[in-house]
Structures are given as C-alpha cells and as structure tokens.
Structure 1
Amino acid sequence: MRWIAPTEKDPAGAMLDGMPQAGNDRQSVFGGYLEIVCVPLLMVFHRLCYDLTGILLSGSAVDHGPLLLTRLDEWIPFVPVFVLPYILTWGYGGFIVLYALLSRTYDHRLFRYFYLAFLLMTGVECLLWLTFPAQISIRAGATELARSGWLGELTSYVYQRATPWNVIPSAHIAFAWLAWLFSAHFARAGQRWPFLAAFILVALSVLFIKNHYLADVAGGVLLGQSIYLLVFRPACRRGLLDRLPGSLVVGVSLAAATAATLGFMSLQG
C-alpha cells in the first residue's frame, strides 16, 4: 500500500502521515475486488436496521420531536425538486466505489476501514434513535404534494419509505459527511469537490423535502465526524484490518446483512 505524503492534511486538520491512501499495488482476486460485494451487503444491513428501529419506535409513547423543532425549520420551504438528490443518495456507496475503480485508486485494504466505519455508524445510529425517539412533524401535506405533480408523488414515496421516527441523527447526513472525509484518502488531487458538493446537496435535500429538522443535520455531521476520528483514523494508523483474509471481510458483511434480515422478518411475522 502507498502511504500519503506527510505534508498533506486530512479534512479534520490532522497530518496524514502514517495514514493509508489508495495505491495501485496488485490485489488478490478474492481479497481484493470481490470485497466490493460488501457495499450492497452493508446497504441492506443499514436499510433493515433502519426499518427495524422504525417498527420498534412506531408504538412509542415518547416523542422528542417537538424539542428539535425550531422556527427556522418551519420557515424552510418545501421544494420538491430536492427529492431527486435525496433518492440518488440511496446508491451513494456504489458511486464512491465506482469512482475509485474508474480513477484507479481503489484499494481493498483502505476501503475495509470505510466498511468498518459504516457498520459501526449504523449501530450507533440505531442506538441513538431508540434512546431518543423523535418524530418528524413538518412533512408536506397531501394538498401540497398533489400540487407538485410527479415530484410530489416521488416525495410521497420517500415519506412512505422513510419512517418518521428515525430523525436524529440523519443517516443521510452522517454517511455523506463520512464519505467527504474518506475521500481525502482515495480521491485524486483536485477531485474531492464532488464529494463536498454531494454533502451540501444531501443536506439541502433532507431539509427542503421537509424530512428532517436542522438539528438532525447537525447530529449527522457530529456522528460522521466522530466515527471518522474515533474509528476510521485510529484503525487505519494501526493497520488493524490490513492482514485480514478477504473471505472474513465479506463474511462479516454477509453475517450482518443476514442477521438484520432475520430480525426484520421476525418482527414482520
């Protein structure tokens, strides 16, 4: 693996000496590119964990949503066109890997730390949602959605898919911010701006389709930053996952997705 020059800095402002950056070294077939299968597996894991917490909270008698609502949240207008970038974020993990492959900066050992960070971040999100139940109460009404045509129909679909309970922190924001920080380790010089632009677009989308409070955005940034500083960077520096067999990396992702699937099926049944 190639190591980043000690004169460069990461988004947190710390020197990146001793931190891995994507290189072009030869990778084994299974331990390398086939680890990309972790992306859809972890996305399934995240989605099902999200739905599980939504089901568990649906009967909650406690709602901290009013504590998060501010006048500024109420003033933010409903802009249905922002449902498009919101939906695109569902495939953001795949876009990140695709960029790394096309730019020839994909390194399976580096991406393992991103998978680990995402796995742990999902767990923390669920714990926070369950600990602090909060329901979104500012979604656009049926009349407003109907006036918005097909964009309103898409927004209505998002509302149906997104449980109103998993509010703070915003999973969209946490992932987009973590991806922006992670891009310092694999994006080529001068090509990190799309990841920052993606974060800004995601932040605007969750607010303008009225699916999150401003506090949720702040909470998502805080969570993504914390996972990066406390999990991703320390694990990278120590090379904790470098020598793991690819079969184990894929196996853990598969086990996580399977466990979430079984849990979801048991609640649905």
Structure 2
Amino acid sequence: MKEKIQKLIPAYAVFPLLACLAVNFLVYMGIAPIADSWKHYDLTTTFDQAVPIVPEFIIIYLGCYLFWGINYILIAGQGKEHCYRFVTADIMSRLICCLFFLILPTTNIRPELGDGLWENILQFVYDIDAPTRLFPSIHCLVSWFCYIGIRGQKQVPKWYRAFSCVFALLVCASTQFTKQHYIVDVFGGIAIAELTYYIAFHTKCYRPLERLCERIYKRGE
C-alpha cells in the first residue's frame, strides 16, 4: 500500500501539495474576517445580466474539487522541478488574489431561486459561501492551472489533456450559470494563472521552494 501511495504521490511532492492547500485556505478563509465588512464593489456587466441561471451547473461547480485533486497530483508527478515550478506559480497566484481581495473587495446580487433539487443545492452553496472575494475567481484560476500544468506534458495522454481543457472551461461556465461570479472574474483568474505560470517556468523563482523542500526531506531521512 505504501509503495502504491508513493507511486501516486512521490515523496518530493507531498510538502509542495500541502503548501498549495494551506496557502489557498489561508488566503480565501483568512481574508473573510478582515475584508468582508468593508465596502464592496459590484462589477456586474450587461453580459452578466444577460446570462441565464442554470442551477444544474452546480454539478460542475462542486465536482471540480475532485478534478483539482486528481490533476494537482498528476502535475506534481511530472518531475521534481516541474512540481516546484508549478507550486511556486500556484502560491504566487494566491498572493495576487489576496492583494485583489484587499484592494478591490467585490460582491454581487444573487438571484432568487425556485424550489427544486438543483435549486436547493445551489441555495445551499449560496448560504455557506458569502458573495465576496469574487475577483479573481479562484475556481477558474485553479481549474485553468489543472489544464496548463499538463498542457505540454506528453507523458499525459492527449485525450486527458484535451479533457482537462474542456472541463476547465466548463468550470468557468459554471461560475456564470450559477451566478457565483462575473465574467471579469473568469478572465482575471485565467490571466493570473497564465502570468504566474509563465514567470515560474521562465525564471529561477522556484529555487527558494526547492531549497526549503530539500531541507525538509533531509531532516525526514
């Protein structure tokens, strides 16, 4: 069993993946008690108003968490350097999100829902997830990372790379059809993912993470 787990998640990837999870949690949940009471801006556009609500898209909106877990593990397994570079991009992206959540707090007005299975599930999401910290969309950002992290990796089957692209776009669509985000949140999330990914894979900024991880691994030996 241990060998199977190590084959699925290499030892070098454990701390980086946990770091991704921790930073994401700290940014999204940590900002709420700080900025949720501040003045928020509604960036709703004519396009946003024209998009209909389709409650069934909540399946994609919630199902993406499984997609994220699978792809982050898959990406981390593409090699130690690739893992460090990717995680560096991921952490940088959350720090940028944190900055936007503080300097540009955003909100939107959610629609009233009818009575039905999908409507009730969507209402549950509305109840537990305040309409704040919208720009950029972390849902779109993380989903796009799931695609670009394997975009050029030939070790990953072409069909799965294509699936990841399509599913990432469906997640972006789900943020619109569930009225969880504006269209600008989608483009913001994708742009930040591409920007930080480019920086991480074209500079040596991943080296501090690499050195930290190597020290942790040596202590664990």
TM superposition score normalised by structure 1: 0.68
Deviates more, 1:180-189 or 1:78-87: 180-189
The structural deviation recorded for 1:113 is 1.3
Match of 2:3 in 1: none
- The alignment status of 1:140 with 2:140, answered yes or no, reads no
Q: 1:72 to 1:108 in 2, by over 3 A?
A: same
Which one-letter code corresponds to 2:187 in the other structure?
A
* C-alpha contact (below 8 Å) 1:86/1:205 kept by paired residues: yes
- The alignment status of 1:176 with 2:176, answered yes or no, reads no
Please point out which of 200, 204, 212 is paired with 2:169.
Answer: 200
* C-alpha contact (below 8 Å) 1:36/1:97 kept by paired residues: no
* C-alpha contact (below 8 Å) 2:85/2:206 kept by paired residues: no
Q: 1:245 to 1:220 in 2, by over 3 A?
A: closer
- The alignment status of 1:34 with 2:2, answered yes or no, reads no
Match of 1:165 in 2: 132
TM superposition score normalised by structure 2: 0.81
- The alignment status of 1:51 with 2:29, answered yes or no, reads yes
Match of 1:253 in 2: none
Please point out which of 56, 74, 99 is paired with 1:81.
Answer: 56
Q: Secondary structure at the match of 2:158?
A: coil
Map Cα deviations across residues 15-48 of structure 1 (whole Å, 9 max, x no partner).
xxxxxxxxxxxxxx7xx81233332442243123
Counterpart CA distance in 1 for 2:23 and 2:64 is 16
Q: 1:40 to 1:245 in 2, by over 3 A?
A: closer
Q: 1:249 to 1:87 in 2, by over 3 A?
A: farther
The structural deviation recorded for 1:243 is 6.0
Map Cα deviations across residues 195-243 of structure 1 (whole Å, 9 max, x no partner).
21121111111000000001111111211111122233324xx873696
Match of 2:179 in 1: 210
- The alignment status of 1:112 with 2:84, answered yes or no, reads yes
* C-alpha contact (below 8 Å) 2:89/2:199 kept by paired residues: no
The structural deviation recorded for 1:99 is 4.1
Structure with the larger helix share:
2
- Which segments of 5 or more consecutive residues in structure 1 lack a partner in the other structure? 1-28, 251-269
Deviates more, 1:158-167 or 1:241-250: 241-250
The structural deviation recorded for 1:171 is 0.8
* C-alpha contact (below 8 Å) 1:82/1:205 kept by paired residues: yes
The structural deviation recorded for 1:245 is 6.4
Map Cα deviations across residues 98-139 of structure 1 (whole Å, 9 max, x no partner).
5469xxx632331121111111111110111111111122x2
Q: What's the % identity of the aligned pairs?
A: 19
CA RMSD of aligned residues (A): 2.8
- The alignment status of 1:95 with 2:63, answered yes or no, reads no
Q: Secondary structure at the match of 1:193?
A: helix
Which one-letter code corresponds to 1:46 in the other structure?
N
Counterpart CA distance in 2 for 1:216 and 1:180 is 18
- Number of residue equivalences: 208
Please point out which of 149, 152, 169 is paired with 2:119.
Answer: 152
* C-alpha contact (below 8 Å) 1:64/1:133 kept by paired residues: yes
Q: 1:176 to 1:232 in 2, by over 3 A?
A: farther
